[in-house]
Amino acid sequence: MSPPVIPASTERSATFFGTAAIGCVAYAALALLLMHSLRPDLAPTSHMISEYAVGAFGWVMQSVFVGLSLGCAALFVGLARNGPTAVVARLGVVLLAVASIGLIVSAIHPMDLPGTPSTRSGELHDLSFFVNVGSIVLAIVLLTAGFGSDLRWRSYRRTSVVLLSLIALAFVLQLLTLLVLKGTPYGLANRFFISVILAWMIATAIRLRNLARR
């Protein structure tokens, strides 16, 4: 079977939004790494990354959330135009838009530090956290299921399955360290979870960008 002919406008769209997503997510990853140097007082083993948004250089962490939001938005538009058309994949694309909005809420409303009084900002941040995690993970599950239905994306499905497996493992570790295994390095589990999600986003963005070359 010969490969499908991709219109020039579609090629430009895939290249633009794929490249935009790579740039936004890469910025978020680098800025998050920088925060570990800017805030050495927050030990990675015992602090969630959201805590970087409170106090000195908090704006850098807020920009991380904005970068991730823009990355999700770029993937949303790019996959809406060039992704699989299966219903499950379309639902996954919509959830990327939900995550993009939720991440802006996370950027605007910093969390409440442990041991401090509850505030409206902290409540909104916590709510957005659950929305973001739920929508992104479910989006990845649905998109991974849908990649096999599209000839252009079928060969990428295996990579997505591997990364999804790591995300599931990281999610379980995060829950265990927070709820069951008290005293364990939940901060590292948090960073592992974020890292594999970033890896999936970048890998998917690269595949999106490269559609024009296939």
Q: What is the mean pLDDT of residues 4-26?
A: 82
| Choice between 105 and 11, residue whose per-residue pLDDT is larger | 105
Give residue 182's pLDDT: 76
Q: How far is 97 from 5, CA to CA, in rounded Å?
A: 28
Instruction: Flag whether pLDDT at 188 surpasses 80.
Output: yes
Instruction: Flag whether pLDDT at 2 surpasses 70.
Output: no
Q: What is the mean pLDDT of residues 115-143?
A: 94
For residue 135, what are its two tokens?
Answer: 């929508």
Asked whether 88 and 148 are in contact (CB, 8 A), the reply is no
In terms of Cβ atoms closer than 10 Å to its own Cβ (0-12, 13-18, 19+), residue 198 is middle
| Choice between 135 and 182, residue whose per-residue pLDDT is larger | 135
Give residue 1's pLDDT: 45
Q: What is the pTM of this model?
A: 0.91
Give 7's pLDDT tier (boundaries 50, 70, 90).
low
Instruction: Flag whether pLDDT at 4 surpasses 60.
Output: no
For residue range 133-178, what is the model confidence (pLDDT) as tens digits? Answer: 999 999 999 999 999 999 999 999 999 999 999 999 999 999 999 8
Give 8's pLDDT tier (boundaries 50, 70, 90).
low
